[in-house]
């Protein structure tokens, strides 16, 4: 097992029969969904809410029941990855372009478990450009307002075309360098008209599972 798989499998141990489970997005969450699929085949009864169309498709392929927010009032436990995590378990997320749904699902979860390999653990956030989801209308003006906060924003592309999120929005990858004050930055970004959400997940993590190359994992 690689480090991502190790972390994902550890997190899935916290899933119990009858739970509503939030499914994250990305290559680490992928392993958690695969493991959940195995456990469902073995008899585990869960219902899930996916943070992306990609993860929803994978879950359905594995015969994991997928529901919507219309069917539940809360999510028991969500397992998702991250692009960076600092010593206070603050995260940068959105490398996969799903930060808005990921934040909605994490905020609605009683327990939010984050799974990473050790390369994601950093002393300070910011080497990974901060993903910010913006509406397409006037995105140039929105990017200008983000730049005024001290970053170089780049509109994300995929296959030479603008990347479009599951919500029909663009992603600006905002290179700030080291994020000295993530809380105030998150508030200032979200105050810009046109910004839908930013990729800083602050004070949300209940459990962090770090997978290591030697097959062990650490809980924090």
List residues near ligand 5RP by CB under 6 A.
24-29, 80-83, 93-99, 102
Cβ-based nearer residue to ligand 5RP, 16 or 126: 126
**Least distance in angstroms from the C-beta of 107 to ligand 5RP:** 14
At 4, which helix (H) or strand (E)? Answer: helix 3-12
Rounded-to-integer distance, Cα 172 and Cα 192, Å: 13
**Least distance in angstroms from the C-beta of 116 to ligand 5RP:** 7
> What are 33's strand-pairing partners?
none
**Least distance in angstroms from the C-beta of 43 to ligand 5RP:** 28
Cβ-based nearer residue to ligand 5RP, 23 or 64: 23
Nearest to 21 by CA among 36, 2, 1: 36
Cβ-based nearer residue to ligand 5RP, 18 or 215: 215
**Least distance in angstroms from the C-beta of 126 to ligand 5RP:** 15
Cβ-based nearer residue to ligand 5RP, 94 or 194: 94
Rg (CA), the chain: 17
Asked if residue 210 lies in contact with residue 7, where contact means CB atoms within 8 angstroms, the answer is: yes
Q: Please list the active-site residues.
A: 102
DSSP string, 128-193: SPEEEEE-STTHHHHHHHHHTTT-EEEE-EETTEE---TTS-EEEEEE-SS-S-HHHHHHHHHTST
């Amino acid at each position: 097992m690689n480090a991502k798989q190790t972390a994902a499998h550890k997190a899935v141990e916290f899933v119990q029969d009858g739970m509503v489970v939030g499914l994250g997005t990305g290559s680490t969450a992928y392993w958690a969904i695969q493991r959940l699929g195995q456990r469902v085949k073995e008899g585990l009864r869960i219902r899930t809410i996916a943070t992306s169309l990609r993860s929803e498709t994978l879950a359905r392929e594995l015969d994991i029941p997928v529901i919507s927010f219309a069917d539940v009032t809360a999510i028991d436990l969500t397992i998702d990855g991250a692009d960076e995590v600092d010593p206070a378990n603050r995260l940068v997320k959105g490398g996969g372009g799903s930060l808005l749904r990921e934040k909605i699902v994490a905020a609605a979860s009683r327990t939010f478990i984050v799974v990473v390999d050790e390369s994601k653990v950093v002393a300070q956030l910011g080497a990974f450009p901060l993903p910010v989801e913006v509406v397409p209308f006037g995105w140039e003006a929105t990017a200008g307002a983000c730049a005024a906060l001290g970053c170089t924003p780049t509109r994300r592309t995929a296959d030479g075309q603008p990347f479009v999120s599951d919500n029909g929005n663009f992603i600006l990858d905002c290179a700030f360098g080291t994020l000295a004050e993530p809380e105030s930055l998150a508030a200032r970004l979200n105050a810009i008209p046109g910004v839908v959400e930013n990729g800083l997940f602050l004070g949300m993590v209940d459990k962090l599972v770090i997978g290591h190359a030697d097959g062990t994992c650490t809980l924090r």
